[in-house]
Amino acid sequence: MMRAALAATALAMTLSAPAVAREAMDVAELVEKHGPAVVNISTTKLVKRGVEAFPFVIPDGEDMQEFFRRFFPPGGPGRGPIEEIPARGAGSGFIVSNDGYILTNAHVVRGADEVAVKLIDKRTFSAKVIGADSRTDVAVIKITANNLPAVKLGDPAQLRVGEAVAAIGSPFGFENSVTAGIVSAKGRSLPSESYVPYIQTDVPINPGNSGGPLFNMKGEVVGINSQIYSRSGGYQGVSFAIPIDVAMEVAEQLKASGKVSRGWLGVVVQEVTADLAESFGMDRPRGALIAQVQADGPAARAGLQAADVILMFGGKPVENSGDLPRMVGMTKPGAKIPLQVWRRGKLQNITVELGELPGEEQLAGKPDKTYSRGGLALAELTAEQRRELGIDHGLLVEEVTGDAARAGIRVGDVILAVNNGKVATVEAFRKAIAAIPKGKSAAVLVRRGEGSLYIPLKISGE
């Protein structure tokens, strides 16, 4: 009996060894064949430092500005002349065409005065930023060279959860580092992103890997490594990649015009829960529930209403509310799209002509913000931000401490109301919170992502 067991164990080891070796060989061959198309990217941004770098914020107003100019003149005690200090950054990228076009993350090259690309053969080129899109975190850069090695592109739709994948990049500046793992999930939505159905993996990704390629075992690029979830700042087992089909669609627009045009529907949507589905008479929870229709927007002109549930967009099913922004955003403005809508217990077909999502340009000047009772630093939304979000008022949460943090309010939330009273200015919010007795709670309505929810903010007096 013992001999039989030992023999079976030996046979199993004999059979499994080639499989393990073959998988290891696949990664090695992948790196050997496709690694030369992966590049290291280094950036330089000149930052001014000197006479104007007061260790505090100079108050607004001409009188105060004149006071500081008079009593803190250039060359004052302990302060020298203005100088430009180079701030350096690093990331990864990969060549998508042999004439020098390279894909990377937008955050790798954002604000850079100089971008340098280093190939695996040690050649270094100065790169031009063709365009960058912060909404998807995709950027296209270009170097002047020909006959370069380029990656093969795969189809992220064919990826299976559990499938082996590998990444090549420059974590912490260690060039051409290779890591491997599996696909953990597909179609992930992140709280701060609406336009990317991320590929989640357990491939070790660290600072410097940003912008590098995610390969399947056929040697095809299926994604761009973009983000990690971490409490320490380093890899903790959860990494996210932008699907390459999404990235290439953005890249083509950037190459053509230097910017990305997206469709715009003009609605605020939320998830359809099991209870809501039952109350609406639906067979199961699915679709995107319209919570708000923006006046004079494409949805309003098409006749969409609050409480409608969008089930199909352009013939494709909308399973979750997070699917809709991606579908709309990746559709060209002006397109006429058929929708299937659940309204008052019946299916309806409605055609909508999409508008164009407003751009990301910010108005000049920095919004006022303040630390209020309750532990919040708030900024008044600019006109561009209000237009982009489809709302006419609100305060952006920039920092969270104390009571607010304990209540669950997050950075990036937009506060719309306190105890059902609209708050359009920081001063209005401060007055509303000041009226809340210590130990009592305020019902704070926040916009988070594409939905809205009430959060009870208990005031402790901190």
Catalytic residues: 107, 137, 210
Joined tokens for residue 336: 């006429």
Joined tokens for residue 116: 């340098």
| d(C-alpha 173, C-alpha 219), whole Å | 24
| d(C-alpha 150, C-alpha 143), whole Å | 13
| Sign of CA pseudo-dihedral 458, 290, 300, 305 | negative
DSSP sequence for 3-45: HHHHHHHHHHHHHHHHHHHHHHHHHHHHHHHHGGGEEEEEEEE
Range 155-158, long-range pairs (CB < 8 A, 24+ positions)? 155/220, 155/222, 155/245, 156/186, 156/199, 156/222, 156/223, 156/243, 156/244, 156/245, 157/245
| Beta strands in 30-176, from DSSP E residues, in sequence order | 38-49, 83-95, 101-104, 114-118, 124-126, 128-133, 138-142, 152-153, 164-169
Count CB neighbours of 45 within 10 A.
16
DSSP sequence for 224-274: EEEEE--SSSS--S-EEEEEHHHHHHHHHHHHHHSS---EE--EEEEE--H
Q: Which DSSP state fits 343?
A: E
- Give the 3-state secondary structure of residue 171: helix
The count of residues in the chain is: 462
Strands 267-271 and 288-293: antiparallel
| d(C-alpha 102, C-alpha 146), whole Å | 13
Joined tokens for residue 223: 């994604």
The candidate with the shortest Cα–Cα distance to 333, out of 267, 253, 249, 262, is: 262
| d(C-alpha 237, C-alpha 202), whole Å | 5
| d(C-alpha 153, C-alpha 457), whole Å | 49
- Give the 3-state secondary structure of residue 450: coil
DSSP sequence for 354-375: -EE----PPPSSPPPEEEETTT
Strands 152-153 and 220-228: parallel
